[in-house]
């Protein structure tokens, strides 16, 4: 069974920056055809251009995961460009720009926006790729959760709750999709630990003690970076993970020890 992703068609949502960009670049470097589904037109186009400049294959599709019509177009554009959809990495989330706050200070509109992107966005993307994956008889859905859901991270209740929903949806979809499609569709999640993307660096500005405490909790005593996560995604896209479904892969230097 091969770990190669050569010629696999993979949609990565939220791949304009941060960890999503790292997934897209890693997969393209191994020969995958990557669809960058991103709400920021500048960032999405830049990720696709950078991949092509290195000799990889990528297209940018302007996508808002909160809108089903937009995710439907994302799937249609992927099939129009590359003929199939082997995998989708549901990575887009409202994370960058959030601030640590008590539940008493959380804004209701922000709560709804977090749920719309992080939870409903995955439902939309799954519904959008399902017809093509069903036709193929095979597909791989990879949902990006977070160790915040395993550890009960406080002061981001909406975000922590949304990632708990991603873990639960992953299991329910793993059971339901093969029943309704009769296809070999696997659904797994990845739980990154605190990863030093631009978004996390801004969120944790001035919180050196919290950063140190997080590293102390890890078995491996260094900051996690986006590149630490690409191996798990690569494996889940590849045929090597064909019999794995309903699982959560924790990549956090051993902090959650789930």
Ligand X SMILES: NC(=O)c1ccc[n+]([C@@H]2O[C@H](COP(=O)([O-])OP(=O)(O)OC[C@H]3O[C@@H](n4cnc5c(N)ncnc54)[C@H](O)[C@@H]3O)[C@@H](O)[C@H]2O)c1
Residue of 23, 95, 159, 235 with catalytic role? 159
| Rounded (10°) CA dihedral 51, 136, 191, 38 | 40
Catalytic residue flag (residue 159) = yes
16 versus 139: smaller Cβ distance to ligand X: 16
Strand partners, 201: none
User: Token pair 């991949």 is at which residue?
Assistant: 51
Q: Other CB atoms closer than 10 Å to residue 168's CB: what's the count?
A: 14
| Burial per residue of 216-242, b for 16 or more beta-carbon CB atoms within 10 angstroms, e otherwise | ebbeeeebbebebbbebbbbbbbeebe
Which positions touch ligand X (CB under 6 A)? 13-14, 16-20, 38-40, 43, 63-66, 91-96, 117, 121, 144, 146, 192, 194-195, 197-200
145 versus 174: smaller Cβ distance to ligand X: 145
Strand partners, 59: 35
Least distance to ligand X from the beta carbon of 7, Å? 25
Structure tokens at 253: 């230097």
Least distance to ligand X from the beta carbon of 37, Å? 6
Least distance to ligand X from the beta carbon of 16, Å? 4
181 versus 218: smaller Cβ distance to ligand X: 218
Least distance to ligand X from the beta carbon of 63, Å? 5
Residues annotated as part of the active site = 159
């Amino acid at each position: 069974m091969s770990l190669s992703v050569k010629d696999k068609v993979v949609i990565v949502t939220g791949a304009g920056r941060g960890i999503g960009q790292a997934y897209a670049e890693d997969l393209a470097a191994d020969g995958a055809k990557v669809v960058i589904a991103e709400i920021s037109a500048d960032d999405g186009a830049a990720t696709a251009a950078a991949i092509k400049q290195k000799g990889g294959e990528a297209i940018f599709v302007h996508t808002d995961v909160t809108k089903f019509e937009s995710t439907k177009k994302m799937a249609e554009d992927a099939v129009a460009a590359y003929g199939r959809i082997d995998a989708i990495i549901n990575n887009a989330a409202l994370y960058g720009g959030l601030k640590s706050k008590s539940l008493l200070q959380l804004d209701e509109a922000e709560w709804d926006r977090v749920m719309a992107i992080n939870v409903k966005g995955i439902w939309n993307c799954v519904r959008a790729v399902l017809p093509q994956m069903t036709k193929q008889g095979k597909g791989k859905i990879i949902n990006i959760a977070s160790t915040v859901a395993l550890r009960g991270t406080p002061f981001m209740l909406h975000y922590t709750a949304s990632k708990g929903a991603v873990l639960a949806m992953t299991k329910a979809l793993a059971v339901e999709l093969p029943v309704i499609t009769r296809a070999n569709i696997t659904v797994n999640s990845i739980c990154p630990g605190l990863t030093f993307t631009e978004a996390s660096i801004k969120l944790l500005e001035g919180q050196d003690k919290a950063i140190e405490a997080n590293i102390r909790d890890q078995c491996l005593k260094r900051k996690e970076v986006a590149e630490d996560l690409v191996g798990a995604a690569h494996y889940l896209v590849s045929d090597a993970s064909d019999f794995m479904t309903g699982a959560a892969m924790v990549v956090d230097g051993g902090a959650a020890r789930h």
